[in-house]
Amino acid sequence: MEAISAAKPIIKVAAICGSLRKGSYNRGLLRAASQICQESISGMQIEYIDISPLPMLDTDLEVGGKFPPVVEAFRQKILEADSIIFASPEYNYSVTAPLKNAVDWASRPPNVWADKPAAIISAGGGFGGSRSHYHLRQIGVFLDLHFINKPEFYLNAFQPPAKFDSDGNLIDESAKEKLKQVLLSLQAFTLRLQGKN
């Protein structure tokens, strides 16, 4: 007997954190996002992509049309992903140097960001990293990244009550629910762009 409805296709999400710090709250957001997908969002898998091994962008490292192996591996991960989630901390009102470096490497011809749906989340002080979102969105215009517009997610990590534990894990239940809504929006947008809903 045929199934009444087909299961949702698996969406592969590449997760990129703009902070290299081990205890980064933004990396904690990505761990929470992965856990939420495993527990309560079917058809969506998040893979954390480490950008710390990437060298600083230097086109002299491109030899014979090839990139350094670590860059090639990173670019391949982005190419294979259905969508992207950026955890983008705010440094000096903008995106971090490691994140911009990763974005630039993957934009080298051929641009592997093109036509990918994407979402941005952030945690920090003050405005919770929100100003980094707008710079990343500007960059995304040139790269043909398609960001979801809503919901936006930026979390003041230092305003009581505690949002993270001592290991940088997200413990705030309301923040987890907001993060889940971002993931559901990214899932729906990805399926729509793929013509699957």
* Domain encompassing residue 72: 11-193
Give the pairing of strands 117-124 and 146-147. parallel
The domain that contains 174 carries what CATH number?
3.40.50.360
SS3 62: coil
pLDDT tens, residue by residue, 78-106: 999 999 999 999 999 999 999 999 999 99
Whether the full predicted model's pTM is greater than 0.75, yes or no, is yes
Q: Is the Cβ–Cβ distance between 128 and 155 less than 8 Å?
A: yes
Residue 39 included in any domain:
yes
Residues 6 or more apart in contact with residue 175 via CB below 8 angstroms = 155, 163
Residue 5 lies in a domain: no
Structure tokens at 109: 């011809």
Position 3 in a domain: no
Residue 43 belongs to a domain: yes
171 inside domain: yes
Q: Does residue 179 form part of some domain?
A: yes
* Rg value, the chain, Cα: 17
Cis, peptide link before residue 151, omega less than 30° from 0? yes
Q: Is residue 2 part of a domain?
A: no
Summarised one tens digit per residue, pLDDT across range 42-56 is 999 999 999 999 999
Please tell me the total count of domains within the chain.
1
